[in-house]
Amino acid sequence: RTLRIGLIPGDGIGREVIPAGRRILEALPSSLGLNFSFVDLDAGFDCFKNTGVALPDKTLDTLRKECDGALFGAVSSPTTPTKGYSSPIVALRKRLDLYANVRPVKSVKPTAAYPDPIDLVIVRENTQDVYVKEERTYELEDGTIVAEAIKRIDSKASSRIARMAGEIALKRRAIRETSGDNIGKQTMVTISHKSNVMSQTDGLFRSCARAALEEKRFVDGGIKIDEQIIDSMFYKLGRNPSPYDVIVAPNLYGDLLSDDAAALVGSLGLIPSANVGDGFAIGEPCHGSAPDIEGRGIANPIATLRSVALMLQFLDQEDAALAIEKAVDSQLLEGRFSTPDMGGNATTNEVVEDVLKRL
């Protein structure tokens, strides 16, 4: 089978890590029976500066009509307010209805701060909340400027993301059982929200998520339903992240939680994500465009390689996904080559080569 993959490097180190993603796909063992074709696509702040559009129609069209999946690098955020610019990744998620943003966070080795293994996944709703970007500004009589944004949550999106979280919890348990790793871990979905303040919006998220997870399939699967108010979620994650399994969250909390959890395992350069819709997935490293290290060839490619695996998983290519994950884990465990974000001095290329050898 041939899968056609859109490559959208975006800005900054996006251009250095997306090629690594392509390389690992090309290097997959032929025994898997998979072939890949690629199409380069434009988007990002540089694209905006050059063309006046951050997400060209051509990119969207090609993804829709030709592609089975895609890899997205990173986008720079303007450092000063820039009229007409709007984040292309946020637009992509909405326009392609990639309703779930799946972000696994896993520790490689125990550390002094966290002696127990961290192995959790954040399942972030990807289309609603304050990300609907409906804002308005007005002026009061006394000259005060007021700006308002809508935070929108609906029952459909909340139920669907919770169901996705439930499916992921079941799958993770099955993998633990097959691999024998971390076998005692409680299969659990933690619903995070702030319904003590936003009783209607976060209250709706909470009740829909709960109802979805109370479906027979999940109850029979032994999923424990847990709940945390989002402020206390940050506290508990920082104190002891190891009991957490799957965390489901509205869009904004999911954004913040994933950066937070990344710090617990050492580097954002390790954290992958997939933007998932029905039958389509875009792999995307969680890190940004990192202007401070751009062009130096030292960006950590691990997040992208893992994002490739995640994308494949959601395109139902489990074996290929597993092959990449294993190669990455073994590379990290040996720890011979690591990029500066992890305290090493290897280049992007050295890390990629080292992973490819293990495929």
Ligand X SMILES: CC(C)[C@H](C(=O)O)[C@@H](O)C(=O)O
Q: Which stretch binds its own copies (CB under 8 A): 10-18, 182-190, 195-203, 307-315?
A: 195-203
The answer to whether 45 and 11 have CB atoms below 8 angstroms apart is yes
**Stretch of 36-44, 78-86, 87-95, 336-344 lying at the interface with ligand X (CB under 6 A):** 87-95
121 near 254, Cβ under 8 Å? no
Residue of 150, 174, 219, 333 that binds its own copies (CB under 8 A):
150
Secondary element (H or E) of residue 174:
helix 155-179
* Length of the chain in terms of residues written: 359
How would DSSP label each residue in 127-143? S-BGGG--EEEEE-TTS
Distance CA 28, CA 33 (A): 9
- Among 122, 123, 119, which Cα is nearest to 243's? 119
Q: Which does 199 bind (CB under 5 to 8 A by kind): its own copies, ligand X, none?
A: its own copies
Q: Tell me which stretch binds its own copies (CB under 8 A): 35-43, 233-241, 276-284, 323-331.
A: 233-241
CB of 203 to its own copies, least distance (A): 6
> What DSSP letter does each residue of 56-99 carry, written as one string?
-HHHHHHHHHH-SEEEEEE-PPPSS--TT---HHHHHHHHTT--
For position 180 contacting its own copies by CB under 8 A, the verdict is no
Name the segment binding its own copies (CB under 8 A); options: 32-40, 135-143, 296-304, 329-337. 135-143
Q: Using the rule CB under 6 A, is 196 a contact of ligand X?
A: yes
Q: Is 178 in the site for its own copies (CB under 8 A)?
A: no
* Nearest CA among 130, 125, 81, 68 for reference residue 102: 125
What mask, x for binding its own copies by CB under 8 A, covers residues 89 to 108? Answer: -x------------------
Compute the distance between CA of residue 237 and CA of residue 233 in angstroms, rounded to an integer: 6
Cβ proximity to its own copies, 63 vs 249, nearer residue: 249
Of 223 and 270, CB closest to ligand X:
270
For ligand X, the closer CB: 126 or 347: 126
Among 262, 321, 327, 346, binds its own copies (CB under 8 A): 262
Q: Is 159 in the site for ligand X (CB under 6 A)?
A: no
User: Do 227 and 206 form a contact (C-beta atoms < 8 A)?
Assistant: yes
Q: In the complex, what is the shortest distance from the CB of residue 251 to ligand X, in angstroms, rounded to a whole number?
A: 8
Which of 45/354 has CB closer to its own copies? Answer: 45
Q: Determine, following the binding rule CB under 6 A, whether residue 255 of this chain makes contact with ligand X.
A: yes
Q: Which H or E element spans position 260?
A: helix 251-264
Single residue of 24, 70, 90, 213 touching ligand X by CB under 6 A: 90
Residue in 27, 60, 225, 256 binding its own copies, rule: CB under 8 A? 256
Q: Name the minimum Å distance from CB 261 to its own copies.
A: 9
Nearest to 320 by CA among 34, 3, 6: 34
CB within 8 Å of 144: residues ≥ 6 apart: none
Binding site for ligand X (CB under 6 A): 75, 87, 89-90, 196-197, 231, 255
